[in-house]
Amino acid sequence: MIGAVSQDKIFKILPSKKVSRGNFPNGFTLVEVIVTILAAAIMGAFFIQFMGTAMSKSVEAIENVRDEASAEALMEQIVTDYVAEINKADPSLALGAMIAKNSSNNYGPGVTMEYITFNSSGAEQTAALSKTLKVTVPAPGNNLITLLSESRQSGPPASPPVAY
């Protein structure tokens, strides 16, 4: 018979498993267990250190978002007040009214308002009186800046009121 193998040869091919003292074919040695525990402990220490730093810094992001939202709300209030002023009978007084409101500290101590002009190269220059008012509201990371201008005409033909 070709390809036929006797049972005697099968048993001789397979190694016999002898279990003796100190020889555990299906288990881990004490050294392997200790090394695994030490590696897990070291990785756990790194993980705890990393998570502690990440958790403490996560509060900063929430504070920045909250403060930026407050700054944006303040800027919206300033623009709303400006629109109300420019819709009055004499729009040329709107910028002066905004400066007066800011000098009485209506918007908080960090808000700055200054008249500016632009030279022929486009660079910003501070002016004593102009038709452009630069409003800066401090925010974390970046300041919020808007330019308010005296763009409406009070005389004929009068500009229509600004909607808000």
Q: What is the 3-state secondary structure (H, E, C) of the chain?
A: CCCCCCHHHHHHHCCCCCCECCECCCCCCHHHHHHHHHHHHHHHHHHHHHHHHHHHHHHHHHHHHHHHHHHHHHHHHHHHHHHHHHCCCCHHHHHHHHHHHHHCCCCCCCCEEEEEEECCCCCEEECCCCCEEEEEECCCCCCEEEEEECCCCCCCCCCCCCCC
Q: What is the mean pLDDT of residues 37-43?
A: 95
In a domain, 70, yes or no: yes
In a domain, 155, yes or no: no
| Prediction pTM value | 0.60
Is residue 157 over pLDDT 70?
Answer: no
Q: How many domains does the chain have?
A: 1
In a domain, 1, yes or no: no
In a domain, 124, yes or no: yes
Q: What is the mean pLDDT of residues 58-87?
A: 88
In a domain, 101, yes or no: yes
Domain that holds residue 126: 33-149
At 113-149, the pLDDT tens digits run: 999 988 888 888 888 888 889 999 998 878 899 999 8
Is residue 52 over pLDDT 60?
Answer: yes
